Amino acid sequence: MAETTSRILALLNLLQTHRQWGGGDLALRLGVTERTLRRDIERLRELGYRVEATRGAAGGYRLEAGSQLPPLLLTDDEAVMMAIGLRVAATQGLSDGEQTTLSALAKFEQVLPAALRQRVNAVAGFVQPQPASPRAGDAPVSQELLGQLALACRDRERIRFHYEAAGGVESDRVVEPHTLVAAARRWFFVCWDLQRGDWRTFRVDRMSRFFRTRVHGEPRNLPAEDAAAFVAAALASLRRRLTAEAHLRMPLAAMREQFGPWAAGATAIDAEWTSWPISGDGLETMLASLVWIPAGVEYTLHGPPEFLAFAAEAAERMRSAVPANSPVAPVSD
Residue 290: partners with Cβ closer than 8 Å, 6 or more residues away: 246, 278, 311
How far is the C-alpha of 161 from the C-alpha of 77, rounded, in Å? 34
Residue 33: strand, helix, or coil: coil
How far is the C-alpha of 306 from the C-alpha of 312, rounded, in Å? 10
DSSP characters over 78-109: HHHHHHHHHHHHTTS-BTTHHHHHHHHHHHHH
Closest to 21 measured CA to CA, from 183, 201, 155, 148: 155
Closest to 251 measured CA to CA, from 241, 239, 259, 242: 259
What are the per-10-residue average pLDDT scores of the chain (333 residues)? 73 76 86 89 84 77 66 72 67 56 63 72 56 54 76 88 83 92 81 91 91 87 85 74 87 90 87 90 82 90 88 88 68 45
Closest to 138 measured CA to CA, from 104, 78, 177, 188: 188
Q: What is the pLDDT of residue 246?
A: 93
CATH class given for the domain over 242-321: alpha beta
Q: What is the pLDDT of residue 169?
A: 78
Residue 14 neighbours by CB distance under 10 Å: 16
2.30.30, 2.60.40, 3.30.499, 3.30.160: which CATH number matches 143-240? 2.30.30
Residue length, the chain?
A: 333
Residue 174: partners with Cβ closer than 8 Å, 6 or more residues away: 158, 159, 160, 193, 194, 195, 213
Burial per residue of 151-162, b for 16 or more beta-carbon CB atoms within 10 angstroms, e otherwise: ebbebbbbbebe
Closest to 120 measured CA to CA, from 91, 78, 90, 92: 78
How far is the C-alpha of 166 from the C-alpha of 217, rounded, in Å? 28
Q: What is the pTM of this model?
A: 0.47
Q: What is the pLDDT of residue 162?
A: 95
DSSP characters over 139-164: -PBPHHHHHHHHHHHHHTEEEEEEEE
User: What are the CA-CA distances from residue 164 to residues 2, 67, 157, 173, 198 (Å)?
Assistant: 54, 35, 22, 11, 19
Q: What is the pLDDT of residue 67?
A: 44
Domain boundaries, the chain: 2-64, 76-124, 143-240, 242-321
Cβ-in-10-Å burial (0-12, 13-18, 19+) of 303 comes to middle
Instruction: Please name the amino acid found at residue 260.
Output: G
Residue 50: partners with Cβ closer than 8 Å, 6 or more residues away: 63, 64, 65, 66
CA–CA–CA angle 19, 213, 49 (5° rounding): 30
CATH number of 2-64: 1.10.10.10
Check: CB of residue 314 under 8 Å from CB of residue 308.
Answer: no
What's the distance, CA 197 to chain centroid? 21
**Rg of the chain in Å (alpha carbons):** 27
Residue 228: strand, helix, or coil: helix
331 φ/ψ angles, rounded to the nearest 5 degrees: -100, 125
